Amino acid sequence: MAAATAAARAGFRVVLAERSRHLGGQLALAGRAAAHRELFQRWLAWAQAELLEGAVEVKVNTLITKEDCAAWRRVIVATGARPAGAPLKLPGRLAVLGAWTAIMRPTPLTGSIVILDQDGGWSAMDAAEVLATHGHAVSLLTETSAPGFLLRRSEQGAYLRRLDALAVRILPHTRLIVDGDGRPNVFLRDLVSGRSSPLADHVGAIVVAAGRTSDSRLFLELDSLPGVQRVGDAVEPRCLEDAITEGTRAVRSGHFL
Ligand SMILES: Cc1cc2nc3c(=O)[nH]c(=O)nc-3n(C[C@H](O)[C@H](O)[C@H](O)COP(=O)(O)OP(=O)(O)OC[C@H]3O[C@@H](n4cnc5c(N)ncnc54)[C@H](O)[C@@H]3O)c2cc1C
């Protein structure tokens, strides 16, 4: 979106294509959580006004492939990132889902919910806040000393205060262990004491936040075409500021013109 508005301002005819029903990518997902709601709404209003003013043709529900790109002089690939990690295999009674899915669809889950913060980023914290706000009893597990361990201290502190107010149970230094093949047992191990306890029967779902991986499939397909640039999380999953700066810079750089 940053590249599209910058290119329109520079006088180009621009098409912005998005495979899902609406614009915003991961920020739209993040905007479902309290931590980012206001940022997302303000940013979306600004970006939509910019796209309109620049007469950018916006196509949603449009998956772009190599064939669509051949006719264009410049293609900026901002295909972002998707959740990483292989799905956990757990006994039948437990639902297992990723943090992005839990943020998007918090209502169908039953029982209390255990969230595994494996990546220390925003997703586990956002999932905990969204699920607790929807009335679920939530426990947030991390093998480190606190969830959100990669976030800035002030940001992590703000999350932890809100999660405390929502009665989210934080379990530091804790690992979820699946033992056995036929009828596996699931239990929690305290990594400091070494003690284990079975996962409580009232737990109905495990939510996993296992990080992000760049979605570079389109870029790799387009490798042989001239005038193709990759920006944002499609290069490597990082943050919003990187995506916006790189999108804008891709147009303002001498190569584009
Ligand atoms: C829960 C969560 C919370 C976050 N919180 C923060 C935060 O507090 N601060 C921060 O800086 N960052 C945060 N981030 C990260 C930030 O949102 C991303 O780094 C940023 O949005 C990346 O932008 P992007 O445009 O590169 O990619 P994305 O936002 O991933 O957008 C890529 C878009 O491309 C579309 N697409 C993919 N392939 C195709 C195709 N072939 N054809 C058409 N469309 C396609 C996708 O549907 C998607 O909409 C958070 C991320 C998550 C998931």
How confident is the model over 175-210, as pLDDT tens digits? 999 887 656 688 999 999 999 999 998 999 999 999
Secondary structure of the chain as H, E, C letters: CHHHHHHHHCCCCCEEECCCCCCCHHHHHHCCCCCCHHHHHHHHHHHHHHHHHCCCEEECCCCCCHHHHCCCCCEEECCCEEECCCCCCCCCCCEEEEHHHHHHCCCCCCCEEEEEECCCCHHHHHHHHHHHHCCCCEEEECCCCCCCCCCCHHHHHHHHHHHHHCCCEEECCEEEEEECCCCCEEEEEECCCCCEEECCCCEEEEEEECCEEECCHHHHHCCCCCCEEECHHHCCCCCHHHHHHHHHHHHHCCCCC
CA of 63 to the centre of ligand 1 (A): 16
Q: Which residues form the pocket of ligand 1, taking CB atoms under 6 Å from any ligand atom?
A: 17-20, 25-27, 29-30, 36, 63-64, 78-81, 103, 122-123, 126, 215, 218, 232-234, 238-241, 243
Q: 85-210: same fold as 2-82+213-252?
A: no
Q: What CATH code is assigned to 2-82+213-252?
A: 3.40.50.720
* Tens digit of each residue's pLDDT (9 = 90 or more) over 57-67: 999 999 999 99
Rounded CA-CA distance 256/244 in Å is 16
Distance 163 CA to ligand 1 centre (A): 24
pLDDT given at position 19: 97
Domains of the chain, residue spans: 2-82+213-252, 85-210
pLDDT in the model for residue 254: 65
- Model pLDDT, residue 70: 86
In the chain, which stretches have pLDDT less than 50?
Answer: none
- Closest protein CA for atom 34 of ligand 1: 79
The fold of the 85-210 domain, in CATH, is FAD/NAD(P)-binding domain (3.50.50)
